[in-house]
Amino acid sequence: MPLTLAFRAGLALVLMAIYFALAAGVIVGLCWVGQWFLRVLAAGHGSIWFLALAIGSFIAAGVILWSTFPRFDKFEPPGPEVTAEEQPALFAEIARICALTGEQLPRHVYLMFAMNAFVAQRGGIMGFGSQRVMGVGLPLMRVLQVSELRAVLAHEMGHFAAGDTRLSPWIYKTRNAIARTEINLVRVARKAAEVATLIYWLFRIVIAPFKWFGIAFMRITQSISRAQELSADRLAARIAGPEQLVEGFKKTHGGSLAHQLFLSTELSPLVEDGRLPPVGEGFSKFLETPLAAKMLEDVVAGALEDTDHDPYDSHPPLRERVEALESVDWEAIEIDPRPAIVLVENAEAIEHRLVAASIAREVTPITWEEVGQWWIARWRMTAERVARSAGALTVATIPSAPHQLRRLCEAIEGTDTASKIPNERLTEWAQPVLGTALCVAMMNAGFTLETGIGEPVHARRDGLTLEPFVDMSRYLAGELSADDWRKLWADVGLADYRLGS
């Protein structure tokens, strides 16, 4: 049964009151203990340890008081703020959702480089003086259709409608205060251990009630958060359609991993070299590849089969959310199949600026058409390094055994660098390095290399097509035997080619 706002508000306030009462009680108790030790000393009794415990008690009380004191919420915008004049189509969608939920437009709307959307009340102290804000991720809009984005934003607006965002500052600030208290007490306790073990144990005793209360507070408030998510799901399904919301959740779930893979494999190597291609264009192309499609399918399928439930999760499992939505008969909602990114004007330029602003160095623009030649230049540099270090190593004699890879790694990378690579990660090192040298050997033998976003490298010659990195990965993983490996390259006349030549 959904929790009412009144119940959730009351529970949050009670928990907050209990924490501050606990903190106040411990502070008063520590001060009383500290002054008792001082009075005993003043009467000519006790020892130097009484003075140490008195000082420790007062310090612990001060740490708790400082940690518990409410902080001003310093809101850091997640990206550029946009207005209705700048982004009329996006604001028209937001206004439509606000009208259906009976809510006002957020005071501030931000575009961000994240596979996410959020609403919150930020600024002020403990929620007082806060303003409504909304963030919408540009990568998210490249994954979703307009009707799916509408459902996701309707879910977020559901948190405004239910008053969740008014409760959140109380819950999060109290949670942060508990965490600060425990962290600061542990930090001071470690310092105290260097001076006196007795003071250290005093702090450990003081830490215990905050640790226990923190665990209970997390479990209770996270269960409240999960109930809020399911309530917002129901509102979004009613006004934007359950199928659209379910698809939005699935694509967001799988899209997060796809976006991370795109950043790590396609974008990061370029950025590290000071090059920045059109980010949004690249991610859109990545999403069209079989690799991304398979990833989205596998991630979503795994999430729908997952029955694990963590009491500390803030969101219900995807399976639970989908089953809850599918258990109710909803009215059919009109579908808008356009890519959601069409709602943003100059999306590519905004995304480019967001990424460029996050890089602490100057970058040079590069097109995705030029990236292939950039990779080939990098491969030649790696191949030259392999050729200088690997001696007479040929394509056919590339080793796969760990002890042989270790010696090869030491020869190419140097002993110091190689020593930092554990045996279980030698294959991870060898696959790109040796695969790169193999690609260069194939180019020198007349093969043409083709590479695209999210696609394996293809080497073509006279109607023959090979995938050198894929073949190298299979060989190092033991899927190809040494005999199969030698035969593969003997058949194309590359077995005796010196690696990296």
Q: How far apart are CA 141 and CA 342, in angstroms?
A: 8
Is 120 strand, coil or helix?
Answer: strand
Q: Which two tokens stand for residue 180?
A: 């600060």
The residues with which 339 forms a beta bridge, in sequence order, are: 145
| C-alpha 497: how far from chain center | 43
Q: How far apart are CA 152 and CA 116, in angstroms?
A: 9
Q: How far apart are CA 393 and CA 441, in angstroms?
A: 12
Q: How far apart are CA 375 and CA 468, in angstroms?
A: 14
Q: What pLDDT sits at residue 475?
A: 93
Q: Which residues, including other chains, have CB under 8 Å from residue 175's CB and lie 6 or more apart?
A: 214, 217, 218, 221
Render pLDDT for 419-476 as a digit per residue (tens, 0 to 9).
889 988 899 999 999 999 999 989 988 999 988 898 889 999 999 999 999 999 999 9
Q: Is the pLDDT of residue 340 over 70?
A: yes
Q: What pLDDT sits at residue 127?
A: 55
Better pLDDT: 175 or 75: 175
Q: How far apart are CA 158 and CA 405, in angstroms?
A: 56
The string of DSSP letters for 9-49 reads HHHHHHHHHHHHHHHHHHHHHHHHHHHHHHHHHHTT-S-HH
Within 13 Å, how many C-alpha atoms sit on residue 46's CB side? 16
Q: What pLDDT sits at residue 501?
A: 57
The one-letter code for the residue type at 361 is R
The residue to which tokens 């694990």 are assigned:
308
Mean pLDDT score, 13-42 = 90
Q: What is the mean pLDDT of the chain?
A: 87
Mean pLDDT score, 136-149 = 96
Q: Give whole-number Cα distances, 410 to 110, 256, 380, 418, in Å.
A: 49, 37, 20, 5
The residue to which tokens 């058949």 are assigned:
491
Better pLDDT: 195 or 498: 498
For residue 3, name the pLDDT band (cuts at 50, 70, 90): low
Q: Which of 179-183, 215-219, 455-459 has the lowest mean pLDDT?
A: 215-219
Q: Residue 117: exposed, middle, or buried by beta-carbon count in 10 A (0-12, 13-18, 19+)?
A: buried
The residue to which tokens 């009462």 are assigned:
21
* Radius of gyration (C-alpha) of the chain in whole angstroms: 30
The helix (H) or strand (E) run that includes residue 501 is none
- Quick one: which of 17, 159, 30, 49 has its CA closest to 97? 159
- Quick one: which of 324, 272, 296, 496 has its CA closest to 397? 496
The percentage of residues in the chain with a pLDDT greater than 70, rounded to a whole number, is: 96
Q: How far apart are CA 48 and CA 52, in angstroms?
A: 6
SS3 content of the chain, % helix, strand, coil (to 5): 65, 10, 25
Is 273 strand, coil or helix?
Answer: coil
Q: Are 444 and 500 in contact (CB under 8 A)?
A: no
Q: Are 232 and 117 in contact (CB under 8 A)?
A: no
The residues with which 82 forms a beta bridge, in sequence order, are: 109
Mean pLDDT score, 319-334 = 83
Q: What pLDDT sits at residue 1?
A: 42
Q: How far apart are CA 167 and CA 162, in angstroms?
A: 10
Residue 156, phi then psi, degrees to nearest 5: -65, -45
- Quick one: which of 252, 231, 253 has its CA closest to 325? 231
The residues with which 111 forms a beta bridge, in sequence order, are: 136
The residues with which 61 forms a beta bridge, in sequence order, are: none
The residue to which tokens 């799988």 are assigned:
254
Render pLDDT for 262-307 as a digit per residue (tens, 0 to 9).
999 999 999 999 999 999 999 999 999 988 888 888 888 888 887 7
For residue 77, name the pLDDT band (cuts at 50, 70, 90): confident
The residue to which tokens 């590069």 are assigned:
366
Q: How far apart are CA 445 and CA 459, in angstroms?
A: 11
Q: Beta 108-112 vs 458-461: how paired, if at all?
A: unpaired
Q: Which of 23-37, 89-103, 387-401 has the lowest mean pLDDT?
A: 387-401
Q: What pLDDT sits at residue 487?
A: 93
Q: Which two tokens stand for residue 148?
A: 């799916």
The residue to which tokens 């965002």 are assigned:
165
For residue 94, name the pLDDT band (cuts at 50, 70, 90): very high
For residue 491, name the pLDDT band (cuts at 50, 70, 90): very high
Residue 109, phi then psi, degrees to nearest 5: -125, 130
